[in-house]
Amino acid sequence: MIPKPPAEQIPNASSPRARLDETELREWMGEYQAGRLEAFDRVYAAIAVPLRKYLTALARDAAEAQDLLQEAFLQIHRSRHTYDRDQPLLPWVFAISRHVYLMSLRSARRRPLRGADNLEETELSFAVPPEVDGLADRLELRAAVARVGAERREAMLLHHVWGFSFREVGAIQGVTESAAKLRSSRGMAELRGILKERR
């Protein structure tokens, strides 16, 4: 049985990755692998919100992101034996979730890109990259982020919003560290361009 951590140690799931306690996450994941349901609850509580935001950013549809989140957790459960406790948990989790999204995209042979209309405010209440903060209000920014090219947007959000290193972003996206860096910086440049254009 895992002892319940004091309230201040329960990760705030809406906070960026940097504020999630990686050591605790790994510990809980290990307990989850050992078959403890309480550990699954803790892992879920810690990562569900950032994961939903990530899936929302990929799918641009809050309702779909919720479905994808459930599927992602089922796949995480199914592949839990592949998690190596010597490695950080979040790149593993995000890589599986990305795969779930790509599979859904493939199977649905999906629709053209949508706008940000279906995004709920809560889903994008993430920290704004400091480089663009103040250039626009949140609504404007939300629409602008949604217009950034998919891979660039993903790299940009993974790094600037969820705090992954470029090496981890590369591992999630299946590219080199420098390619991830390039995607992110091009995403930022594109975002700045979109925001300037709208003014």
Q: What is the contact surface with another protein in residues (CB under 8 A)?
A: 7, 10, 12-14, 33-37, 40-41, 44-45, 48-49, 70-71, 73-75, 77-85, 87, 91-96, 99, 103, 168, 170-172, 174-177, 179
Query: What DSSP letter does each residue of the chain carry, written as one string?
Result: -PPPPPGGGS--TTS-GGGS-HHHHHHHHHHHHTT-HHHHHHHHHHHHHHHHHHHHHHHS-HHHHHHHHHHHHHHHHHTGGG--TTS-HHHHHHHHHHHHHHHHHHHHTPPPPP-STT--GGGG-PPPPTTTTTSS-HHHHHHHHHHS-HHHHHHHIIIIIT---HHHHHHHHTS-HHHHHHHHHHHHHHHHHHHHHH-
Q: Please state the closest distance from residue 135 (CB atom) to another protein, in A.
A: 28
Closer CB to another protein, 22 or 41, in the complex: 41
Shortest Å, Cβ 74 to another protein: 7
CA nearest neighbour of 48 among 105, 123, 127: 123
Q: How far is the CB of 61 from another protein (least distance, A)?
A: 18
Give the position of tokens 């809050």.
62
Q: Least distance from C-beta 139 to another protein, angstroms?
A: 22
Q: Which is nearer to another protein, 94 or 162 (CB)?
A: 94
**Closest to another protein by CB, 59 or 172:** 172
Nearest CB to another protein, comparing residues 73 and 146:
73
Closest distance to another protein from the beta carbon of 59 (Å) = 17
Q: Would you say 116 or 172 has its CB closer to another protein?
A: 172
